[in-house]
Structure 1
Amino acid sequence: MLKLNNTLIGALLGLFFTLISITQVEAQTKSVKNIVLVHGAFADGSSWAKVIPLLLAKGLNVTAVQNPLTSLQDDVAATKRAIALMDGPVLLVGHSWAGVVISEAGNDPKVAGLLYVAAFAPDNGQSLSDVAKTFPPGPGNDEVRPDAAGFLSLTPKGIHEDFAQDLPESERRVILATQGQWAAVAPGEKIAKAAWRQKPAWYIVAKRDRMINPDLERAMAKTIKATAIELDACHIPMVSQPKKVASFIIEAASNVSRKELVSN
Protein backbone atom coordinates (compact mmCIF):
# COMPACT_ATOMS: atom_id res chain seq x y z
CA MET A 1 0.00 0.00 0.00
CA LEU A 2 2.86 2.34 0.89
CA LYS A 3 4.57 1.57 -2.42
CA LEU A 4 1.36 2.38 -4.31
CA ASN A 5 1.02 5.70 -2.46
CA ASN A 6 4.60 6.62 -3.28
CA THR A 7 3.98 5.78 -6.94
CA LEU A 8 0.84 7.85 -6.95
CA ILE A 9 2.59 10.76 -5.27
CA GLY A 10 5.42 10.57 -7.81
CA ALA A 11 2.94 10.63 -10.69
CA LEU A 12 1.14 13.61 -9.23
CA LEU A 13 4.39 15.49 -8.74
CA GLY A 14 5.36 14.73 -12.34
CA LEU A 15 2.03 16.06 -13.57
CA PHE A 16 2.42 19.16 -11.41
CA PHE A 17 5.83 20.03 -12.83
CA THR A 18 4.62 19.31 -16.37
CA LEU A 19 1.75 21.77 -15.92
CA ILE A 20 4.16 24.39 -14.62
CA SER A 21 6.38 23.87 -17.66
CA ILE A 22 3.43 24.18 -20.05
CA THR A 23 2.32 27.39 -18.31
CA GLN A 24 5.79 28.86 -18.64
CA VAL A 25 5.95 28.02 -22.34
CA GLU A 26 2.51 29.55 -22.92
CA ALA A 27 3.58 32.70 -21.10
CA GLN A 28 6.67 32.96 -23.29
CA THR A 29 4.66 32.58 -26.50
CA LYS A 30 2.47 35.49 -25.44
CA SER A 31 5.40 37.82 -24.82
CA VAL A 32 7.50 39.61 -27.43
CA LYS A 33 10.84 41.10 -26.45
CA ASN A 34 11.70 42.82 -29.74
CA ILE A 35 10.22 46.19 -30.68
CA VAL A 36 10.79 47.86 -34.06
CA LEU A 37 9.68 51.50 -34.13
CA VAL A 38 8.92 53.10 -37.50
CA HIS A 39 8.60 56.87 -37.89
CA GLY A 40 6.24 58.71 -40.19
CA ALA A 41 6.53 61.51 -42.73
CA PHE A 42 8.28 64.79 -41.83
CA ALA A 43 10.21 62.98 -39.09
CA ASP A 44 13.06 60.57 -38.36
CA GLY A 45 13.91 57.87 -35.85
CA SER A 46 14.54 60.43 -33.11
CA SER A 47 10.78 60.93 -32.83
CA TRP A 48 10.88 57.86 -30.57
CA ALA A 49 13.69 59.24 -28.37
CA LYS A 50 11.48 59.66 -25.29
CA VAL A 51 9.86 56.23 -25.65
CA ILE A 52 12.98 54.15 -26.24
CA PRO A 53 14.50 54.49 -22.72
CA LEU A 54 11.17 53.48 -21.17
CA LEU A 55 11.03 50.33 -23.29
CA LEU A 56 14.67 49.48 -22.60
CA ALA A 57 14.04 49.82 -18.87
CA LYS A 58 11.53 46.97 -19.19
CA GLY A 59 14.12 44.69 -20.75
CA LEU A 60 12.86 45.02 -24.32
CA ASN A 61 15.13 45.05 -27.37
CA VAL A 62 14.41 48.19 -29.38
CA THR A 63 15.35 49.43 -32.84
CA ALA A 64 14.15 52.68 -34.43
CA VAL A 65 14.10 52.57 -38.22
CA GLN A 66 15.51 55.47 -40.24
CA ASN A 67 13.12 55.63 -43.18
CA PRO A 68 14.48 57.34 -46.30
CA LEU A 69 10.95 58.61 -47.03
CA THR A 70 11.70 58.27 -50.74
CA SER A 71 8.98 55.71 -51.55
CA LEU A 72 6.80 53.06 -49.94
CA GLN A 73 9.09 50.36 -51.31
CA ASP A 74 12.19 52.03 -49.85
CA ASP A 75 10.62 52.51 -46.43
CA VAL A 76 9.34 48.93 -46.35
CA ALA A 77 12.83 47.70 -47.26
CA ALA A 78 14.41 49.76 -44.46
CA THR A 79 11.87 48.38 -41.98
CA LYS A 80 12.41 44.79 -43.06
CA ARG A 81 16.18 45.20 -42.63
CA ALA A 82 15.56 46.27 -39.05
CA ILE A 83 13.23 43.31 -38.48
CA ALA A 84 15.88 40.93 -39.84
CA LEU A 85 18.35 42.11 -37.20
CA MET A 86 16.04 41.10 -34.36
CA ASP A 87 16.43 37.69 -32.75
CA GLY A 88 12.91 36.34 -32.43
CA PRO A 89 9.33 37.61 -32.83
CA VAL A 90 8.80 41.35 -33.28
CA LEU A 91 6.11 43.87 -32.34
CA LEU A 92 6.10 46.37 -35.21
CA VAL A 93 5.10 49.92 -34.26
CA GLY A 94 4.31 52.60 -36.84
CA HIS A 95 3.38 56.28 -36.63
CA SER A 96 1.30 58.16 -39.21
CA TRP A 97 2.64 57.33 -42.72
CA ALA A 98 4.47 54.39 -41.15
CA GLY A 99 1.11 52.73 -40.63
CA VAL A 100 1.17 52.14 -44.38
CA VAL A 101 4.75 50.88 -44.12
CA ILE A 102 4.07 48.41 -41.30
CA SER A 103 0.87 47.19 -42.97
CA GLU A 104 3.10 45.91 -45.79
CA ALA A 105 6.32 45.11 -43.92
CA GLY A 106 4.28 43.38 -41.22
CA ASN A 107 3.79 40.38 -43.50
CA ASP A 108 7.33 39.37 -42.56
CA PRO A 109 7.05 36.04 -40.68
CA LYS A 110 8.99 37.44 -37.71
CA VAL A 111 6.32 40.06 -37.04
CA ALA A 112 3.90 38.83 -34.37
CA GLY A 113 1.80 41.97 -33.99
CA LEU A 114 1.25 45.52 -35.24
CA LEU A 115 0.77 48.70 -33.24
CA TYR A 116 -0.45 51.88 -34.94
CA VAL A 117 0.18 55.31 -33.40
CA ALA A 118 -2.13 57.91 -35.00
CA ALA A 119 -1.40 56.01 -38.19
CA PHE A 120 -2.95 55.02 -41.49
CA ALA A 121 -4.01 51.38 -41.82
CA PRO A 122 -4.77 50.66 -45.49
CA ASP A 123 -6.40 47.46 -46.68
CA ASN A 124 -5.26 45.20 -49.54
CA GLY A 125 -4.53 47.29 -52.63
CA GLN A 126 -5.06 50.63 -50.87
CA SER A 127 -2.82 53.67 -50.54
CA LEU A 128 -2.68 56.37 -47.88
CA SER A 129 -4.66 58.63 -50.19
CA ASP A 130 -7.36 55.99 -50.63
CA VAL A 131 -7.85 55.77 -46.87
CA ALA A 132 -7.53 59.49 -46.19
CA LYS A 133 -10.29 60.51 -48.59
CA THR A 134 -12.93 58.57 -46.63
CA PHE A 135 -13.06 61.35 -43.99
CA PRO A 136 -12.55 65.13 -44.07
CA PRO A 137 -8.81 65.93 -43.89
CA GLY A 138 -7.12 67.46 -40.87
CA PRO A 139 -6.33 71.19 -41.18
CA GLY A 140 -2.60 70.48 -41.14
CA ASN A 141 -2.82 69.12 -44.67
CA ASP A 142 -3.22 72.70 -45.92
CA GLU A 143 0.32 73.38 -44.67
CA VAL A 144 2.02 70.70 -46.79
CA ARG A 145 4.22 72.22 -49.52
CA PRO A 146 5.84 70.50 -52.55
CA ASP A 147 9.28 71.44 -53.85
CA ALA A 148 10.78 71.29 -57.34
CA ALA A 149 12.43 67.93 -56.60
CA GLY A 150 9.15 66.13 -55.91
CA PHE A 151 9.26 66.12 -52.11
CA LEU A 152 6.86 67.45 -49.48
CA SER A 153 7.49 69.38 -46.29
CA LEU A 154 5.44 71.14 -43.63
CA THR A 155 5.43 74.91 -43.17
CA PRO A 156 6.47 76.40 -39.83
CA LYS A 157 2.79 77.10 -39.17
CA GLY A 158 1.99 73.45 -39.89
CA ILE A 159 4.58 72.23 -37.38
CA HIS A 160 3.67 74.72 -34.65
CA GLU A 161 -0.13 74.65 -34.96
CA ASP A 162 -1.02 71.25 -36.45
CA PHE A 163 1.79 68.70 -36.10
CA ALA A 164 3.16 69.36 -32.61
CA GLN A 165 0.89 71.98 -31.08
CA ASP A 166 0.91 70.57 -27.54
CA LEU A 167 4.69 70.59 -27.19
CA PRO A 168 6.82 73.41 -25.75
CA GLU A 169 7.98 75.92 -28.35
CA SER A 170 11.60 74.84 -27.94
CA GLU A 171 10.69 71.28 -28.96
CA ARG A 172 8.55 72.46 -31.85
CA ARG A 173 11.50 74.43 -33.18
CA VAL A 174 13.69 71.31 -33.12
CA ILE A 175 11.01 69.29 -34.94
CA LEU A 176 10.78 72.00 -37.59
CA ALA A 177 14.56 72.09 -38.03
CA THR A 178 14.89 68.31 -38.30
CA GLN A 179 11.80 67.41 -40.34
CA GLY A 180 12.34 64.91 -43.12
CA GLN A 181 11.21 65.65 -46.65
CA TRP A 182 8.69 63.10 -47.91
CA ALA A 183 8.38 61.90 -51.50
CA ALA A 184 5.26 63.34 -53.11
CA VAL A 185 4.54 60.00 -54.82
CA ALA A 186 4.38 58.10 -51.53
CA PRO A 187 0.77 58.90 -50.51
CA GLY A 188 -0.50 57.34 -53.74
CA GLU A 189 1.52 54.11 -53.50
CA LYS A 190 -0.59 51.06 -52.70
CA ILE A 191 0.24 48.15 -50.43
CA ALA A 192 -0.21 44.62 -51.79
CA LYS A 193 -1.33 42.77 -48.67
CA ALA A 194 -2.49 44.19 -45.33
CA ALA A 195 -0.69 42.37 -42.53
CA TRP A 196 -3.34 43.34 -39.98
CA ARG A 197 -5.73 40.91 -41.68
CA GLN A 198 -3.71 38.01 -40.28
CA LYS A 199 -2.00 39.48 -37.22
CA PRO A 200 -3.23 41.08 -33.99
CA ALA A 201 -3.25 44.87 -33.90
CA TRP A 202 -3.26 47.73 -31.40
CA TYR A 203 -4.08 51.39 -32.07
CA ILE A 204 -3.51 54.74 -30.36
CA VAL A 205 -5.99 57.45 -31.36
CA ALA A 206 -4.71 61.01 -30.93
CA LYS A 207 -7.79 63.02 -29.99
CA ARG A 208 -6.19 66.40 -30.80
CA ASP A 209 -4.67 65.29 -34.10
CA ARG A 210 -4.78 68.01 -36.76
CA MET A 211 -2.96 66.00 -39.43
CA ILE A 212 -5.24 62.93 -39.49
CA ASN A 213 -8.90 63.27 -38.61
CA PRO A 214 -9.34 61.56 -35.20
CA ASP A 215 -12.64 60.10 -36.43
CA LEU A 216 -10.74 58.44 -39.26
CA GLU A 217 -8.32 57.01 -36.70
CA ARG A 218 -11.23 55.59 -34.72
CA ALA A 219 -12.72 54.09 -37.88
CA MET A 220 -9.41 52.48 -38.86
CA ALA A 221 -8.94 51.04 -35.37
CA LYS A 222 -12.37 49.46 -35.63
CA THR A 223 -11.75 48.14 -39.15
CA ILE A 224 -8.54 46.37 -38.16
CA LYS A 225 -10.15 45.05 -34.95
CA ALA A 226 -7.46 46.66 -32.86
CA THR A 227 -7.19 46.92 -29.12
CA ALA A 228 -7.35 50.71 -28.91
CA ILE A 229 -6.85 53.61 -26.53
CA GLU A 230 -7.37 57.34 -26.98
CA LEU A 231 -4.90 59.97 -25.79
CA ASP A 232 -5.60 63.69 -25.47
CA ALA A 233 -2.63 64.42 -27.68
CA CYS A 234 -1.47 66.00 -30.93
CA HIS A 235 -0.34 64.05 -33.99
CA ILE A 236 2.86 62.87 -32.27
CA PRO A 237 1.77 61.39 -28.90
CA MET A 238 5.05 59.47 -28.60
CA VAL A 239 6.71 62.88 -28.17
CA SER A 240 4.05 64.67 -26.13
CA GLN A 241 2.94 61.70 -23.99
CA PRO A 242 5.80 59.17 -24.14
CA LYS A 243 4.98 57.40 -20.87
CA LYS A 244 1.45 56.52 -22.00
CA VAL A 245 2.64 55.44 -25.43
CA ALA A 246 5.44 53.32 -23.96
CA SER A 247 3.03 51.74 -21.48
CA PHE A 248 0.68 50.74 -24.29
CA ILE A 249 3.55 49.27 -26.32
CA ILE A 250 4.73 47.30 -23.29
CA GLU A 251 1.20 46.01 -22.69
CA ALA A 252 0.87 44.92 -26.32
CA ALA A 253 4.27 43.23 -26.29
CA SER A 254 3.32 41.25 -23.20
CA ASN A 255 0.18 39.93 -24.87
CA VAL A 256 1.30 39.22 -28.41
CA SER A 257 1.01 35.61 -29.51
CA ARG A 258 1.29 34.07 -32.93
CA LYS A 259 -1.88 32.17 -32.09
CA GLU A 260 -3.89 35.35 -31.52
CA LEU A 261 -4.63 35.97 -35.19
CA VAL A 262 -7.62 37.95 -36.33
CA SER A 263 -9.85 36.37 -38.95
CA ASN A 264 -9.73 37.48 -42.58
Structure 2
Amino acid sequence: MTQPSTTPTIVLVHGAFADASSYAAVIPELLADGFDVVAPAVPNRSLIGDAAYIASVVRNIPGPVVLVGHSYGGAVITVAGVEDNVKALVYLAGYALEQGESLGELQGRFPDSDLAAALVYTPFPIEGSAEGGTDVTVDAGKFPAIFAADVDPELAAVLAVSQRPLAAQAFADRAPAAAWETKPSWGLVSAADHTINPDVERYGYQRAGMTTVEVDSSHLVMLAHPKRVADLIREAARTSAH
Protein backbone atom coordinates (compact mmCIF):
# COMPACT_ATOMS: atom_id res chain seq x y z
CA MET A 1 0.00 0.00 0.00
CA THR A 2 1.40 3.38 -1.00
CA GLN A 3 2.05 5.69 1.92
CA PRO A 4 0.69 9.23 1.60
CA SER A 5 3.33 11.85 0.86
CA THR A 6 4.58 13.95 3.75
CA THR A 7 5.58 16.72 1.33
CA PRO A 8 2.90 19.38 1.68
CA THR A 9 0.82 20.68 -1.18
CA ILE A 10 1.11 24.46 -1.45
CA VAL A 11 -2.28 26.18 -1.81
CA LEU A 12 -1.92 29.78 -3.00
CA VAL A 13 -4.88 32.02 -2.15
CA HIS A 14 -5.03 35.34 -4.00
CA GLY A 15 -6.47 38.56 -2.63
CA ALA A 16 -8.81 41.33 -3.72
CA PHE A 17 -8.41 43.14 -7.05
CA ALA A 18 -6.26 40.23 -8.28
CA ASP A 19 -6.53 36.58 -9.30
CA ALA A 20 -4.40 33.46 -9.16
CA SER A 21 -2.09 34.84 -11.86
CA SER A 22 -0.64 37.11 -9.17
CA TYR A 23 1.37 34.01 -8.18
CA ALA A 24 2.69 33.46 -11.73
CA ALA A 25 6.31 34.20 -10.76
CA VAL A 26 6.23 32.11 -7.56
CA ILE A 27 4.59 28.96 -8.94
CA PRO A 28 7.57 27.94 -11.18
CA GLU A 29 9.89 28.24 -8.16
CA LEU A 30 7.71 25.87 -6.13
CA LEU A 31 7.14 23.41 -8.98
CA ALA A 32 10.90 23.25 -9.56
CA ASP A 33 11.27 22.18 -5.92
CA GLY A 34 8.87 19.29 -6.51
CA PHE A 35 5.90 20.70 -4.63
CA ASP A 36 2.36 20.09 -5.78
CA VAL A 37 0.76 23.52 -6.15
CA VAL A 38 -2.91 24.55 -6.26
CA ALA A 39 -3.88 28.17 -7.00
CA PRO A 40 -7.68 28.35 -6.85
CA ALA A 41 -9.92 31.20 -7.97
CA VAL A 42 -11.37 32.86 -4.88
CA PRO A 43 -14.97 34.05 -5.43
CA ASN A 44 -14.28 37.33 -3.55
CA ARG A 45 -17.94 37.58 -2.54
CA SER A 46 -17.84 37.28 1.28
CA LEU A 47 -15.25 36.25 3.85
CA ILE A 48 -17.47 33.45 5.17
CA GLY A 49 -18.30 32.11 1.70
CA ASP A 50 -14.79 32.50 0.34
CA ALA A 51 -13.28 30.71 3.35
CA ALA A 52 -15.80 27.89 2.99
CA TYR A 53 -14.84 27.51 -0.67
CA ILE A 54 -11.09 27.40 0.05
CA ALA A 55 -11.72 24.96 2.91
CA SER A 56 -13.49 22.66 0.44
CA VAL A 57 -10.47 22.83 -1.88
CA VAL A 58 -8.16 21.96 1.02
CA ARG A 59 -10.32 19.02 2.14
CA ASN A 60 -10.03 17.45 -1.31
CA ILE A 61 -6.23 17.42 -1.16
CA PRO A 62 -4.74 14.19 0.22
CA GLY A 63 -1.94 14.83 2.68
CA PRO A 64 -0.64 17.97 4.36
CA VAL A 65 -1.19 21.50 3.09
CA VAL A 66 0.65 24.78 3.50
CA LEU A 67 -1.93 27.53 3.03
CA VAL A 68 -0.63 30.83 1.62
CA GLY A 69 -2.75 33.98 1.54
CA HIS A 70 -2.03 37.36 -0.04
CA SER A 71 -3.80 40.51 1.15
CA TYR A 72 -7.52 39.69 1.62
CA GLY A 73 -6.46 36.09 1.06
CA GLY A 74 -4.83 36.33 4.49
CA ALA A 75 -8.26 36.79 6.05
CA VAL A 76 -9.53 33.83 4.00
CA ILE A 77 -6.77 31.46 5.19
CA THR A 78 -7.28 32.64 8.76
CA VAL A 79 -10.70 30.98 8.63
CA ALA A 80 -10.11 28.15 6.13
CA GLY A 81 -6.86 27.16 7.84
CA VAL A 82 -8.65 25.30 10.63
CA GLU A 83 -8.96 22.31 8.28
CA ASP A 84 -7.19 19.30 9.81
CA ASN A 85 -4.64 18.81 7.02
CA VAL A 86 -3.42 22.44 7.06
CA LYS A 87 0.00 22.29 8.71
CA ALA A 88 1.18 25.89 8.28
CA LEU A 89 -0.04 29.33 7.23
CA VAL A 90 1.90 31.95 5.26
CA TYR A 91 0.64 35.53 5.08
CA LEU A 92 1.87 37.82 2.29
CA ALA A 93 1.06 41.49 2.94
CA GLY A 94 -2.06 40.06 4.49
CA TYR A 95 -4.78 40.47 7.08
CA ALA A 96 -4.38 38.19 10.10
CA LEU A 97 -7.78 38.54 11.75
CA GLU A 98 -8.66 37.57 15.28
CA GLN A 99 -11.71 35.40 15.89
CA GLY A 100 -14.78 37.64 15.82
CA GLU A 101 -12.96 40.47 14.03
CA SER A 102 -13.79 41.92 10.61
CA LEU A 103 -11.50 43.38 7.97
CA GLY A 104 -13.04 46.78 8.54
CA GLU A 105 -12.34 46.61 12.27
CA LEU A 106 -8.71 45.59 11.92
CA GLN A 107 -8.03 48.17 9.25
CA GLY A 108 -9.91 50.87 11.16
CA ARG A 109 -7.36 50.78 13.98
CA PHE A 110 -4.75 52.41 11.74
CA PRO A 111 -4.53 55.39 9.39
CA ASP A 112 -5.87 54.78 5.88
CA SER A 113 -3.47 53.78 3.13
CA ASP A 114 -3.56 55.46 -0.28
CA LEU A 115 -6.01 52.77 -1.38
CA ALA A 116 -8.96 54.27 0.48
CA ALA A 117 -9.20 57.31 -1.79
CA ALA A 118 -8.81 55.22 -4.96
CA LEU A 119 -11.65 52.72 -4.48
CA VAL A 120 -14.52 52.51 -6.96
CA TYR A 121 -17.92 51.15 -5.89
CA THR A 122 -20.18 49.48 -8.46
CA PRO A 123 -23.57 47.81 -7.83
CA PHE A 124 -24.10 44.26 -9.06
CA PRO A 125 -27.19 42.01 -9.06
CA ILE A 126 -27.62 39.12 -6.64
CA GLU A 127 -30.11 36.46 -7.64
CA GLY A 128 -33.10 36.52 -5.29
CA SER A 129 -32.11 39.86 -3.75
CA ALA A 130 -33.90 43.12 -4.49
CA GLU A 131 -31.01 45.17 -3.14
CA GLY A 132 -28.09 43.45 -4.86
CA GLY A 133 -24.50 43.95 -3.78
CA THR A 134 -21.59 46.33 -4.23
CA ASP A 135 -18.36 45.49 -5.99
CA VAL A 136 -15.17 47.27 -4.90
CA THR A 137 -12.29 47.84 -7.32
CA VAL A 138 -9.32 50.19 -7.61
CA ASP A 139 -9.34 53.12 -10.01
CA ALA A 140 -7.40 51.67 -12.96
CA GLY A 141 -5.35 54.82 -13.40
CA LYS A 142 -4.19 54.73 -9.79
CA PHE A 143 -3.76 50.95 -9.57
CA PRO A 144 -0.10 50.70 -10.67
CA ALA A 145 1.22 53.24 -8.15
CA ILE A 146 -0.90 51.95 -5.25
CA PHE A 147 -0.80 48.21 -5.91
CA ALA A 148 2.22 47.42 -8.06
CA ALA A 149 4.77 50.26 -7.94
CA ASP A 150 7.77 47.94 -8.36
CA VAL A 151 6.18 45.58 -10.90
CA ASP A 152 6.95 45.89 -14.62
CA PRO A 153 4.79 48.83 -15.81
CA GLU A 154 3.37 46.93 -18.79
CA LEU A 155 2.27 44.09 -16.51
CA ALA A 156 0.87 46.53 -13.95
CA ALA A 157 -1.23 48.13 -16.70
CA VAL A 158 -2.69 44.72 -17.59
CA LEU A 159 -3.42 43.94 -13.95
CA ALA A 160 -5.17 47.30 -13.56
CA VAL A 161 -7.78 46.46 -16.21
CA SER A 162 -8.23 42.78 -15.26
CA GLN A 163 -9.05 43.16 -11.58
CA ARG A 164 -11.18 40.61 -9.77
CA PRO A 165 -13.51 42.79 -7.64
CA LEU A 166 -14.17 42.23 -3.96
CA ALA A 167 -17.75 42.46 -2.73
CA ALA A 168 -18.18 45.03 0.02
CA GLN A 169 -19.72 42.30 2.21
CA ALA A 170 -16.24 40.86 2.71
CA PHE A 171 -15.21 43.90 4.76
CA ALA A 172 -18.06 43.35 7.23
CA ASP A 173 -17.95 39.58 7.83
CA ARG A 174 -16.47 38.57 11.18
CA ALA A 175 -13.96 35.73 11.20
CA PRO A 176 -15.60 32.72 12.90
CA ALA A 177 -12.16 31.23 13.67
CA ALA A 178 -8.48 32.14 13.65
CA ALA A 179 -6.34 29.23 12.49
CA TRP A 180 -3.10 30.92 13.57
CA GLU A 181 -4.08 30.22 17.17
CA THR A 182 -3.25 26.54 16.62
CA LYS A 183 -1.14 26.40 13.43
CA PRO A 184 2.45 27.62 12.93
CA SER A 185 2.38 30.81 10.89
CA TRP A 186 4.72 33.02 8.90
CA GLY A 187 4.08 36.62 7.86
CA LEU A 188 5.67 38.83 5.23
CA VAL A 189 5.31 42.61 5.61
CA SER A 190 5.48 44.66 2.43
CA ALA A 191 7.24 47.66 3.94
CA ALA A 192 6.51 49.96 0.97
CA ASP A 193 2.86 48.91 0.75
CA HIS A 194 0.36 51.61 -0.34
CA THR A 195 -2.60 49.22 -0.46
CA ILE A 196 -2.57 48.01 3.16
CA ASN A 197 -0.90 50.14 5.79
CA PRO A 198 2.18 48.04 6.68
CA ASP A 199 1.37 48.61 10.35
CA VAL A 200 -1.86 46.64 9.85
CA GLU A 201 0.24 43.72 8.65
CA ARG A 202 2.79 44.08 11.47
CA TYR A 203 0.08 44.31 14.12
CA GLY A 204 -1.75 41.20 12.95
CA TYR A 205 1.43 39.16 12.66
CA GLN A 206 2.76 40.27 16.05
CA ARG A 207 -0.55 39.54 17.74
CA ALA A 208 -0.47 36.05 16.25
CA GLY A 209 3.15 35.46 17.30
CA MET A 210 4.21 34.73 13.75
CA THR A 211 7.69 34.37 12.36
CA THR A 212 7.86 37.66 10.45
CA VAL A 213 10.04 39.07 7.67
CA GLU A 214 9.95 42.49 6.03
CA VAL A 215 10.60 43.15 2.35
CA ASP A 216 10.90 46.61 0.78
CA SER A 217 8.10 45.92 -1.66
CA SER A 218 4.81 47.10 -3.07
CA HIS A 219 1.64 45.21 -2.23
CA LEU A 220 2.18 42.68 -5.05
CA VAL A 221 5.26 41.22 -3.42
CA MET A 222 4.79 37.86 -5.21
CA LEU A 223 5.42 39.51 -8.58
CA ALA A 224 8.01 42.02 -7.36
CA HIS A 225 10.08 39.64 -5.20
CA PRO A 226 9.07 36.07 -6.10
CA LYS A 227 12.26 34.44 -4.80
CA ARG A 228 11.82 36.02 -1.36
CA VAL A 229 8.23 34.81 -1.26
CA ALA A 230 9.18 31.31 -2.42
CA ASP A 231 11.88 31.13 0.25
CA LEU A 232 9.36 31.93 2.99
CA ILE A 233 6.96 29.29 1.69
CA ARG A 234 9.80 26.77 1.56
CA GLU A 235 10.67 27.56 5.18
CA ALA A 236 7.08 26.99 6.27
CA ALA A 237 6.87 23.75 4.30
CA ARG A 238 10.17 22.46 5.63
CA THR A 239 9.32 23.28 9.24
CA SER A 240 5.80 21.88 9.08
CA ALA A 241 7.03 18.58 7.59
CA HIS A 242 8.91 17.73 10.81
Query: Scaled by the length of structure 2, what TM-score is found?
Result: 0.91
Question: Moved runs in structure 1, 4+ residues, more than 2 A?
Answer: none
Following superposition, the deviation at residue 82 of structure 1 comes to 2.0
Match of 2:116 among 126, 132, 141: 141
Q: Deviations over 1:68-109 (max 9, x none)?
A: 111112211221232123221111000111111100000111
* 1:208 corresponds to 2:192: yes
Larger-Rg structure = 1
CA contact (8 A) 2:46 2:170 kept: yes
Give the equivalent residue in structure 1 for 2:99: 124
CA contact (8 A) 1:33 1:59 kept: no
The alignment of Structure 1 onto Structure 2 pairs a total of residues equal to: 230
CA contact (8 A) 2:71 2:94 kept: yes
Unmatched 5+ stretches in structure 1: 1-27, 259-264
Unmatched 5+ stretches in structure 2: 125-133
CA contact (8 A) 2:48 2:175 kept: no
Q: Deviations over 1:44-63 (max 9, x none)?
A: 11111110110011111110
The 5 A counterparts of 1:173-192 are 173-192=157-176
CA contact (8 A) 2:136 2:165 kept: yes
CA contact (8 A) 1:143 1:157 kept: no
CA contact (8 A) 2:8 2:241 kept: no
Query: Scaled by the length of structure 1, what TM-score is found?
Result: 0.84
Residue type matched to 2:223 in 1? V
Following superposition, the deviation at residue 257 of structure 1 comes to 5.2
Residue type matched to 1:89 in 2? P
How much is the aligned-residue C-alpha RMSD, in angstroms? 1.6
Match of 1:196 among 176, 180, 188: 180
CA contact (8 A) 1:37 1:94 kept: yes
CA distance in 2, matches of 1:157, 1:177: 9
CA contact (8 A) 2:67 2:89 kept: yes
Higher helix share: 1
